[in-house]
Amino acid sequence: MSLEKIRNFSIIAHIDHGKSTIADRLIQMTGALTDREMKEQVLDSMDIERERGITIKAQSARLRYTAKDGEEYILNLIDTPGHVDFTYEVSRSLAACEGALLVVDAAQGVEAQTMANVYLALEHDLEIIPVLNKVDLPSAEPERVKQQIEEVIGLDASDAIECSAKTGFGIDAILEALVKRVPPPKGDPNGPPKALVVDSWYDNYLGVVSLARVYDGELKAGSKIRFMGVGMDYPLDAVGYLTPVLQKVPSLKAGDVGCVMAGIKVVKDARVGDTITDARNPAPEALPGFEEAKPMVFAGLYPVDSADYEDLKEALEKLSLNDAAISYETETSPALGFGVRCGFLGMLHMEIIQERLEREFDLDLVTTAPTVVYQVELTDGTSVEVHSPADLPAQNKREAILEPFILASIMAPSEYMGAVMTLCTERRGIQRDMNYISDTRVMIQYEMPLSEVVMDFFDRLKSATKGYASLDYQMLDYREGKLVKLDILINGDPVDALSVIVHADKADMRGRELAKKMKEIIHRQMFDVAVQAAIGAKIIARETVKALRKNVTAKCYGGDITRKRKLLEKQKAGKKRMKQIGRVEIPQEAFLAVLKVD
C-alpha cells in the first residue's frame, strides 16, 4: 500500500462522549469484524475497563475502506487512553498520527478533558476534525456546541460532522472526511527503519506485543531489532496488523501501524515512546520525546495476613509484566509488618492496581494513604526524594521541603463557581484564570499542591457541583512549602503508617479532626485506647476510645440464632481488613482517613 493511501488517526474525547462507540461503528462499517465477533465494545478489552467504562490500555485497528472516489484506503485507528493519569501515553499515540477526530457530545458541549487533548493534538500538528456525537438526543444542540468549539478552542467548526454513534447516522461522513482531510503519512521507505512504540502489552502466548508506527524503512520478521531508548536488541519473531484481530504479515513498512513481537518478557523493556530500529542498519538517532514513566503518587500496600506477603510480591511481578508504569520496593513498617511501597502515575492508576491485586489475585490488602513525592533539601546541601512520610528526615536535618504543584483546569456551570472557588482556596489553590466558555459555563484554572488533590478532591468537586464539573490537570513544578509531619499515636506509640505530611497552618486543625475521626473508626476494645495527634514531640490532640463492657452478641434478643450468626459474620467480614497494631485492631478506613479530613 503506497503512503498516499494510508491515514493514521486517533479519536480524542472527554470521558463518555462516545469515543468507544464511534470506534466500534467505524470498525463495523468497514467490515473489519463480523457482527458475531463484534462484542459490545471491542476496543475496551479489559474487564475492569468495561465495568468502569473507561479505556486504560490503548489498542488500535487497521481498517480497509473503499472511499467514494472508488479507491481503497487503509485507515489506522490508534486508540488512546482517556484519563489524566495517562497523558504521556496519549501524547505518544497522537505523535503517531496525522489526524484526529475530536468527538464532542452535542448535548454536553466542550469539557476540560476535551481541551487538554486538543492542545496535545495541536502540539503534534494534527488535522483535527470536529465531530458532534449524540445528535439523536433531544437535548442535542449541535449549532451551539459548534460555536463553543470555535470560541473556546479556536478551531473552525463550520464543517464539523454531526453524527450519532448510536443510530449510525453520520459515520460514513466521518470515514470520507478522514480520507479527504487527514494528510497521508510522510516517510522514507528505503531509509534505516524507525518506528515509534505507541503501546505495549503482555500476551500469555506471544510475550510482549508492541504496537508501533513505522516512520522510515521496513521492519521485517526474522531481522534483528533494537529498542534505542532502553538499548536492547531482539530477534524480530513476527509482525502483524490488528484488524482488530491480529493478522501476521512479512513486514511493516513506512507509514504502517502494526504489532511487533520479539519475545520480550516485560513491557518495561518495550516502553511506550521508545524507537525501534534495525540492529544491523540502525537509524542515526531516535525519535524525540522518549520519557521514563514517572510515578507521581506512592502508597504502602500491606497484606492483611502477613503470610500473604510472598503472594503479594508475586502478584506485583505479574502485573508489572503488563504495566511499565508501576514501580515497587519492599517496605517494612513497624506497625503493618512486611509490605511494598508502590509508585503510581496517579490516583486512577492506583485504584486500578489495587483492584486487580484484590480481584485477580485474591489478596486482602491494607493500603496506606497515598503520598506525593516530596523533595527535601538537607542541611548538608544534598537533597532527597521522599515517597513516604515515614522517610521524612528529622527536622534538624531538613533545610526545606518542596512539594509538586499542578495546574488544575475545572469547567462547571457558572452557578457553582462560588463553591468551586471555595473548595480550591481551601486546598491552597492560587487562582490563575477564569473564562466564560458559554453563557452558563465557566472554565477556571488554579495552581494547587498535588497533595491537596490526591485523595478526595474530585469527589468533593463533583458533589459541590452536583456532578457537573470536569477536571483536568498538568504538572507544573516543585515549590517550597511550610510542611510538617503529623503523627498519630495509639496508646502512646506512633503508628508510622498513619503519619501524614501536612501544611503547618492546617496541622493543628487536621490533628484534632484526625484524632476525633480515629476515635470513631477504631472499634471499642476490651480496654481504653488513647488516640493522640502529635507534631514532633508536641501532642496537639487526644481522644479516648472507651473500653467495651459487654459482648456485642448480648445485644441480640432471645435465642434468635440466625440474627446472632449474621452479626458474627458481619464482624468477621469487617475483620478481614483489620490490622493488629500492638493490642489494638485498626480497620482499613483509618489508614485512608488521614487524607479525608476536611
Ligand X SMILES: Nc1nc2c(ncn2[C@@H]2O[C@H](COP(=O)(O)OP(=O)(O)OP(=O)(O)O)[C@@H](O)[C@H]2O)c(=O)[nH]1
The answer to whether 141 contacts ligand X (rule: CB under 6 A) is: no
CB-nearer residue toward ligand X: 174 or 448:
174
Q: Which residues contact 539 (CB under 8 A, 6 or more apart)?
A: 489, 532, 533
**DSSP of 208-259, one letter per residue?**
EEEEEEEEESEEETTSEEEETTTTEEEE--EEEEESSSEEEESEEETT-EEE
Residue numbering of the annotated binding site? 16-21, 133-136
Where does this chain touch ligand X (CB under 6 A) — which range of 47-55, 178-186, 323-331, 480-488? 47-55
The answer to whether 133 contacts ligand X (rule: CB under 6 A) is: yes
Where does this chain touch ligand X (CB under 6 A) — which range of 160-168, 310-318, 486-494, 564-572? 160-168
CB-nearer residue toward ligand X: 55 or 60:
55
Q: Which residues on adjacent β-strands are paired with residue 596?
A: none
Single out the residue of 136, 364, 456, 585 in contact with ligand X (rule: CB under 6 A). 136
Single out the residue of 7, 8, 12, 19 in contact with ligand X (rule: CB under 6 A). 19
Q: Are strands 194-203 and 207-216 parallel, antiparallel or unpaired?
A: antiparallel
Q: Which residues on adjacent β-strands are paired with residue 214?
A: 195
**DSSP of 373-419, one letter per residue?**
-EEEEETTS-EEEESSGGGPPPGGGEEEEEEEEEEEEEEEEGGGHHH
- CA dist 451 and 481 (Å) reads 11
DSSP symbol at 41: T
Largest CA distance in the chain: 87
Q: How far is the CB of 24 from ligand X (least distance, A)?
A: 8
CB-nearer residue toward ligand X: 227 or 473:
473
Where does this chain touch ligand X (CB under 6 A) — which range of 134-142, 303-311, 363-371, 477-485? 134-142
Single out the residue of 16, 364, 399, 447 in contact with ligand X (rule: CB under 6 A). 16
Question: In Å, how far are 60, 226, 283, 286, 520 from 10, measured between CA atoms?
Answer: 9, 26, 26, 23, 49
Where does this chain touch ligand X (CB under 6 A) — which range of 49-57, 337-345, 479-487, 562-570? 49-57
Single out the residue of 3, 15, 206, 249 in contact with ligand X (rule: CB under 6 A). 15
Residue 444, H or E segment:
strand 441-449
Q: How far is the CB of 469 from ligand X (least distance, A)?
A: 17
Query: 11 and 80 in contact (C-beta within 8 Å)?
Result: yes
- Site residues for ligand X, 454-513, by CB under 6 A, read none
The answer to whether 271 contacts ligand X (rule: CB under 6 A) is: no
- Using only C-alpha atoms, the chain has a radius of gyration, in whole angstroms, of 27
Residue 519, H or E segment:
helix 504-521
- CA dist 96 and 131 (Å) reads 21
The answer to whether 132 contacts ligand X (rule: CB under 6 A) is: no
CB-nearer residue toward ligand X: 20 or 409:
20
The pair phi, psi for residue 49, each rounded to 5°, is: -60, -45
Q: Which residues contact 549 (CB under 8 A, 6 or more apart)?
A: none
The answer to whether 117 contacts ligand X (rule: CB under 6 A) is: no
Single out the residue of 7, 57, 134, 271 in contact with ligand X (rule: CB under 6 A). 134
- Site residues for ligand X, 69-98, by CB under 6 A, read 82
Q: What angle do CA 156, 162, 167 make, to 5 degrees?
A: 160
The answer to whether 225 contacts ligand X (rule: CB under 6 A) is: no
- Site residues for ligand X, 524-583, by CB under 6 A, read none
Where does this chain touch ligand X (CB under 6 A) — which range of 16-24, 90-98, 490-498, 508-516? 16-24
Q: How far is the CB of 440 from ligand X (least distance, A)?
A: 22
Q: How far is the CB of 148 from ligand X (least distance, A)?
A: 18
The answer to whether 60 contacts ligand X (rule: CB under 6 A) is: no
CB-nearer residue toward ligand X: 177 or 423:
177
Q: How far is the CB of 496 from ligand X (least distance, A)?
A: 38
Q: How far is the CB of 153 from ligand X (least distance, A)?
A: 17
Single out the residue of 8, 10, 21, 451 in contact with ligand X (rule: CB under 6 A). 21
Question: Could you tell me which of 407, 434, 412 has the C-alpha nearest to residue 109?
Answer: 412
CB-nearer residue toward ligand X: 118 or 541:
118
Task: Work out the burial of residue 163: count CB atoms within 10 Å of its CB; fewer than 13 is exposed, 13-18 middle, 19 or more buried.
Answer: buried
The answer to whether 20 contacts ligand X (rule: CB under 6 A) is: yes
Residue numbering of the annotated binding site for GTP? 16-21, 133-136
The answer to whether 173 contacts ligand X (rule: CB under 6 A) is: no
- Site residues for ligand X, 393-412, by CB under 6 A, read none
The answer to whether 50 contacts ligand X (rule: CB under 6 A) is: no
Question: Could you tell me which of 513, 574, 511, 522 has the C-alpha nearest to residue 544?
Answer: 522
Q: Which residues contact 215 (CB under 8 A, 6 or more apart)?
A: 185, 187, 194, 195, 196, 254, 287
Q: Which residues contact 134 (CB under 8 A, 6 or more apart)?
A: 17, 18, 105, 106, 107, 140, 164, 165, 166
Per the listing, cell 493500603 goes with: 367
Q: Which residues contact 573 (CB under 8 A, 6 or more apart)?
A: none
Single out the residue of 80, 91, 108, 164 in contact with ligand X (rule: CB under 6 A). 164
Amino acid at site 584: V
DSSP symbol at 116: H
CB-nearer residue toward ligand X: 136 or 237:
136
Question: Could you tell me which of 513, 501, 512, 484 has the C-alpha nearest to residue 596?
Answer: 513
Q: How far is the CB of 548 from ligand X (least distance, A)?
A: 46
Single out the residue of 137, 238, 421, 509 in contact with ligand X (rule: CB under 6 A). 137
Q: How far is the CB of 334 from ligand X (least distance, A)?
A: 42
Where does this chain touch ligand X (CB under 6 A) — which range of 131-139, 222-230, 409-417, 436-444? 131-139
Q: How far is the CB of 44 from ligand X (least distance, A)?
A: 6
The answer to whether 54 contacts ligand X (rule: CB under 6 A) is: yes
The answer to whether 25 contacts ligand X (rule: CB under 6 A) is: no
Single out the residue of 166, 220, 398, 563 in contact with ligand X (rule: CB under 6 A). 166
Single out the residue of 126, 165, 401, 420 in contact with ligand X (rule: CB under 6 A). 165
| # residues contacting ligand X (CB under 6 A) | 19
Structure-block grid coordinates of residue 324: 511499565
Where does this chain touch ligand X (CB under 6 A) — which range of 8-16, 253-261, 298-306, 380-388? 8-16
Q: Give me the count of residues in the chain.
A: 598
CB-nearer residue toward ligand X: 13 or 369:
13
Q: List residues near ligand X by CB under 6 A.
A: 13, 15-21, 53-55, 82, 133-134, 136-137, 164-166
